[in-house]
Copies of this chain bind each other. A is one copy, B any other.
Amino acid sequence: MINRLTIIGAGLIGGSLSLALKQAGAVTHVVGCGRNIDNLIKGVELGVIDSYQSSIAEAVKDADMVVVAVPLGAMETAFGQIKGNIAETSVITDVGSAKGSVVGIAKASLGEQFNQFVPGHPIAGTENSGIEAGFATLYQNRRVILTPLEETSRQAVQKVDAMWQQCGASIEYLSVEHHDKVLAATSHLPHMLAYAMVNYLSGLNEHDEIFKYAAGGFRDFTRIASSDPVMWRDVCLSNGDALLEFIEGYKEELDMISSAIKDNDANALLALFGKAKSERDSLIGNC
């Protein structure tokens, strides 16, 4: 049971966490904290949070658990205001989708309190954002990756682990570097490809017509291009090296298809597409 939970940055991710913990009866009081007061008032009205606070320093003072759910680009400011304002028994975690940069920021900001910080990343979300987009089941059967360091308090890790389990998630442990590589491949790269796809088509002369004839497959394929641009800008700035490596590798794979088309190589095309279909069907399921 968490007595007092403070969520800094109460949007889709933070709001859903609060709703899930409330539904599980695993939290007594949730404080929302952020710069957008209208959003926080809406959160109280909707019952997503119990009270709000615009000052991070004030909001974290009596918190048992602080969840930093701001965009990656706002982590530095947030962590800067946590330091010195939390009790020694408090636990801090985050939900950032790149971990190397957040760990660096937390280490620099928290100093001797860095051992109270458990880096985390729930693999969940929708293309919608804002506290009103939150829902209690967002983390059901989803994975949450924790990337604790050697100096991280074991007790703090256990508390964060228990919190996410109460939301219905399963918890996995990876190193910071490994997390950032895996996420660059499965999440950051496809977002770049989808953004590029929509921009490319919308730059063509007949773009109105092109979107008009777009069918279900195209809709699915480009859904992630409706994701929050600020969040994805920050991901690029935070995990750029891994992402650049994967974009280059991807282009080489795409060139293999181009070459097969250029050569009218029916067998090569069939092999490439057959391999992709069987990999996807066996690893993800035909859904």
Q: Which residues of A contact B (CB under 8 A)?
A: 73, 123-128, 142-143, 145, 172, 178, 181-183, 185-187, 189-204, 206-230, 232-233, 236-237, 240, 243-244, 246-251, 253-254, 256-258, 260-262, 264, 266, 269-270, 272-277, 279-281, 283-284, 286-287
| Assembly CA distance A227 to B275 (angstroms) | 11
A195 vs B128: C-alpha distance in the bound complex, in angstroms? 27
Question: Closest CB-CB distance, A263 to chain B, in whole Å?
Answer: 10
Which of chain B's residues have a CB closer than 8 A to the CB of A284? 211, 214, 218-219, 222
A85 to chain B, nearest CB (A): 29
For A204, the chain B residues whose CB sits under 8 A away are 185, 249
B-side contacts of A191, CB under 8 Å = 217
Q: Supply 12 further A-B pairs (C-beta < 8 A) apart from A229-B270, A243-B261.
A: A124-B216, A127-B217, A172-B213, A186-B214, A190-B197, A196-B276, A199-B279, A202-B275, A228-B277, A236-B261, A247-B257, A251-B254
Q: CB within 8 A of A279: which of B202, B227, B272? A: B202
Nearest CB in chain B: distance from A137 CB, A: 13
CA–CA, A95 to B124, complex, Å?
A: 39
Contact B197 A217 (CB under 8 A): no
Kindly list chain B residues whose C-beta atoms are within 8 Å of the C-beta of A210: 182, 185-186
Residues on B with C-beta less than 8 A from A124 are 215-216
A143 surroundings in chain B (CB, below 8 A): 212-213
Task: Write 16 A-B pairs (CB below 8 A) sorted by A numbering.
Answer: A185-B210, A186-B215, A192-B257, A193-B193, A195-B276, A196-B257, A197-B250, A211-B283, A220-B224, A222-B284, A233-B269, A233-B270, A236-B260, A240-B264, A247-B254, A251-B251
- With both beta carbons as reference points, the residue of chain B lying nearest to A191 in the complex is identified as B217
- Given the known inter-chain contacts A237-B264, A286-B226, please indicate yes or no for A187 contacting B250, CB distance below 8 A: no
**Contact call B199/A272, Cβ cutoff below 8 A:** yes
A273 with B229: CB separation less than 8 A? yes
Known A-B contacts A218-B186, A257-B192; A200 and B240 likewise in contact (beta carbons under 8 Å): no
Q: How far is the CA of A232 from the CA of B187 in the complex (A)?
A: 25
- Report how far A206 CA is from B178 CA in the complex, Å: 10
Instruction: Decide yes or no: A287 and B233 within 8 Å by CB, A182-B213, A253-B199 being known contacts.
Output: no
Task: Report the separation of the CA atoms of residues A262 and B237 in the bound assembly, to the nearest whole angstrom.
Answer: 9
A125 touches B196 (CB 8 A): no
Task: List, in ascending order, chain B residues with CB within 8 A of A262's CB.
Answer: 240, 244
Q: Looking across the interface, which residue of chain B has its beta carbon closest to that of A209?
A: B182
A280 touches B198 (CB 8 A): yes
